[in-house]
Structure 1
Amino acid sequence: MSKKIHEFNDIIRKLRKELFGKGPDRIHTVFVDNMAVSTLYGNLTASEQFIASTPEGKEMVHAARTSLIQEHYSNRTPEGMEELIGAKLEHLFSDIKIQEDMAVSVFIFDRNIAGGQEAADR
């Protein structure tokens, strides 16, 4: 795995831990053109898993998770992300599948960031 992807995953993990009290157990990130696409596994806290045991709870956890992430990134870019990538973050698209405890975030930057990077797990 490239050092840049490893550091990018660490930035994502740290932010999610600060926001939710738990970071993902595993992150898989690929750089493609001007995008970083991250799949995050093992995101939910024990409390969120309990709340999500009902259909209404699933909707509540989904709404809270997606809204909080979108709002946070629209207010500020995580510390060190743009410097690491060498490009300005323009947009973030994020969603989570509660039952599978899997999330996907697509980070859109203002220029190509791939530079020959390959997929990496961590």
Structure 2
Amino acid sequence: MSKKIHEFNDILRKLRKELFGKGPEKIQTVFVENKAISTLYGNLTPTEKFIARTPEGRDMVHAARTKLIQDVYKSGTPEGMNELVGANLVHLFSDIKVEEDIGISVFIFDKDIT
């Protein structure tokens, strides 16, 4: 793993730990042109896992996770991210599959990542 990818993953882990009290256990990121695609494993807290035991609970955890992440990035890019990749974040697409505890985030920047 390159140093840049490692540092990018650290930014994601730190932000999610601050938001949810627990960061992902594993993150795999690839840079492709102007995109960073991150797959995040082991995201859910014990409380979220408990809530997600029912279909309604899974929907609630999914909605809360995806909405919160999107709102956080709308209010500003995490500290150091733009500088690290040499481009400005334009869009974030994020989702989580609660049943498997796998999340994905696609970061789109204004130019190719250097």
1:54 alignment partner AA: T
Residue of structure 2 in register with 1:73 after alignment: 73
| CA displacement at 1:80 relative to structure 2 | 0.4
> What 5-or-longer segments of structure 2 have no aligned partner?
none
* TM-score calculated relative to the size of structure 2: 0.99
CA RMSD of aligned residues (A): 0.5
Looking at structure 2, the residues matched to 72 and 7 of structure 1 have their Cα atoms a distance apart, in angstroms, of: 19
Residue of structure 2 in register with 1:9 after alignment: 9
Residue of structure 2 in register with 1:36 after alignment: 36
1:110 alignment partner AA: D
Which one scores higher on RCO, CA 8 angstroms, separation ≥ 6? 1
Alignment of 1:1-122 (within 5 A): 1-113=1-113, 115=114
Taking only the aligned residue pairs, the percentage that are identical comes to 73
Deviation string 1:42-88 (CA, Å, 9 cap, x unpaired) is 00000000000000000000000000000000111000000101100
| CA displacement at 1:107 relative to structure 2 | 0.2
Number of residues of Structure 1 aligned to a counterpart in Structure 2: 114
| CA displacement at 1:24 relative to structure 2 | 0.1
> What 5-or-longer segments of structure 1 have no aligned partner?
116-122
1:61 alignment partner AA: V
1:94 alignment partner AA: S
* TM-score calculated relative to the size of structure 1: 0.92
| CA displacement at 1:20 relative to structure 2 | 0.4
